[in-house]
Amino acid sequence: MVFNYRALAEYLVEAEERKQPVSCITDNYPNFNLSNGYAVQKELVKIKEELGYNIFAYKMGLTSQAKMKQMNVNEPIYGYVFDYMNVPNQGQIIKEELIHPKVEAEIAFILGEDIEGPGITGEQVLKKTKSILPVLEIIDSRYENFKFTLPDVVADNTSASRVVFGDKLFNPHDFEVDAVEVKMKINGDLAADGVSSAVLGNPAVSAAMLANMMAGSGKGKIRKGSIILTGAITEAVLLHKGDHITAKFGGMGEISFQVK
Ligand code: OOG
Ligand code: MG
């Protein structure tokens, strides 16, 4: 089947702009597959660039058991974070700008050298990583009830919506990247917790997987200086207007923001 990838990308961009969820692409087109999903994602990136936005970071998704179980899908995926999604630490997100946002805690990597698949390992990526830092990702599916199949969520740029980075960069060589303990509180109550090893054993493995997936689809290497979100350590937690979120990343400081 031949799909109109541009029209499907517009459908999702409009849902984001109108803040109105839409039905899954696979509801209308049951044959829509994962490579079709990435083809829509590619058009969605073009639309965002035409609107004047730029890619700010890469993101991996569904890299932990907690997330795969929560979303009922079983394979890591990738997408892009755009510049307009960036929110400062201790800043705020506006509920009215979003549909049904959820928050999740992650580790981000900043590359000191290019990385390239196929066959690159987590250890090799760590050697080429300049810094790591904590990040809270706010995901906001453009699909009704936050429900989708893998091809749908890939088309929807893996629910990318907002990001709040920590203030400090850390040298990955001084750090046990797989032993960062995260505790996320909402209005003072524990909302989710976990350890960074939940992400494929080590978040570096997720960054390596990204390079390998990109190589597999002919997208080439990931350049020095690129930022990679390696995927949620914990389940994602639904946000409400008025919520105050704080997350402690053992040894890496704290991130907080408010939902206005
Ligand atoms: C898809 C995005 C998943 C992660 O870190 O696992 C993701 C979703 O759950 O809506 O960003
Ligand atoms: Mg995420």
Ligand 1 in reach of 194 Cβ (< 6 A): no
| pLDDT exceeds cutoff 80 at 141 | yes
CATH number at residue 209: 3.90.850.10
- CA dihedral of 97, 183, 181, 165, whole degrees rounded to 10: 30
pTM metric for this prediction: 0.98
The DSSP bridge partners found for residue 106 are: 135
Q: In the predicted model, what is the mean pLDDT of residues 12-26?
A: 98
- pLDDT of 1 > 80? The answer is no
Predicted pLDDT of residue 2: 85
Q: Whose alpha carbon is nearest atom 11 of ligand 1?
A: 61
Give the tens place of pLDDT for each residue, 124-135: 999 999 999 999
How far, in Å, CA of 254 to CA of 233, rounded?
15
Given a cut of 90, whether residue 64 has pLDDT beyond it is: yes
Q: Quick one: average pLDDT of 109-115?
A: 98
Mean pLDDT, range 35-52, rounded to an integer: 98
Tell me which DSSP letter residue 215 carries: H
Q: Which amino acid is at 191?
A: A
Burial (CB count <10 Å: 0-12, 13-18, 19+), residue 254: middle
Q: Which of 68-72, 145-149, 196-200 has the lowest mean pLDDT?
A: 68-72
Pocket lining: 62 vs ligand 1, CB cutoff 6 Å = yes
Which pLDDT score is estimated for 74?
Answer: 85
| Omega of the bond leading into 118 within 30 degrees of 0 (cis) | yes
**Average pLDDT for 143-153:** 97
pLDDT value of residue 56? 97
Q: Which pLDDT does position 62 carry in this prediction? A: 96
- How far, in Å, CA of 200 to CA of 186, rounded? 26
Q: Is the pLDDT of residue 175 over 90?
A: no
Q: In this structure, are residues 134 and 249 in contact, taking their beta carbons and an 8 Å threshold?
A: yes
pLDDT of residue 73: 87
Q: Of 137, 203, 139, which is closest to residue 176 (Cα–Cα)?
A: 203
For tokens 């919506």, what's the residue?
161
Q: How far is CA 4 from CA 9, 16, 29, 60, 155, in A?
A: 9, 19, 12, 25, 12
Q: DSSP assignment, residue 223?
A: P
Domain count, the chain: 1
pLDDT category of residue 166 using cuts at 50, 70 and 90: very high
Q: Which domain holds residue 150?
A: 5-259
Q: Quick one: which atom of ligand 1 is closest to the CA of 159?
A: 10
Residue 15 banded pLDDT, cuts 50, 70, 90: very high
Which residue in 115, 48, 32 sits closest to 84, CA to CA? 48
On average, the pLDDT of the chain sits at 97
Predicted confidence at residue 256, as pLDDT, reads 98
Q: Which among 137, 1, 123 has a CA at the least distance from the CA of 58?
A: 137
Percent of the chain with pLDDT over 70: 100
Q: How confident is the model at residue 82 (pLDDT cuts 50, 70, 90)?
A: very high
Nearest CA to ligand 1 atom 4: 61
pLDDT of res. 79: 98
Question: pLDDT at position 13, please?
Answer: 98
Mean pLDDT across 101-117: 98
Q: What is the pLDDT of residue 196?
A: 98
* 193 DSSP 8-state letter: E
What is the pLDDT, as a whole number, of residue 83?
A: 98
Using a 6 Å cutoff on CB, does residue 61 contact ligand 1?
A: yes
* pLDDT exceeds cutoff 80 at 173: yes
Q: How open is the CA angle 228-76-8, to the nearest 5 degrees? A: 90
Please give the Cα distance from 47 to 244 (Å, whole number).
33
Ligand 1 nearest-atom number relative to CA 236: 9
**Does any ligand 1 atom lie closer than 6 A to the CB of residue 232?**
yes
Residue 226 scores a pLDDT above 80: yes
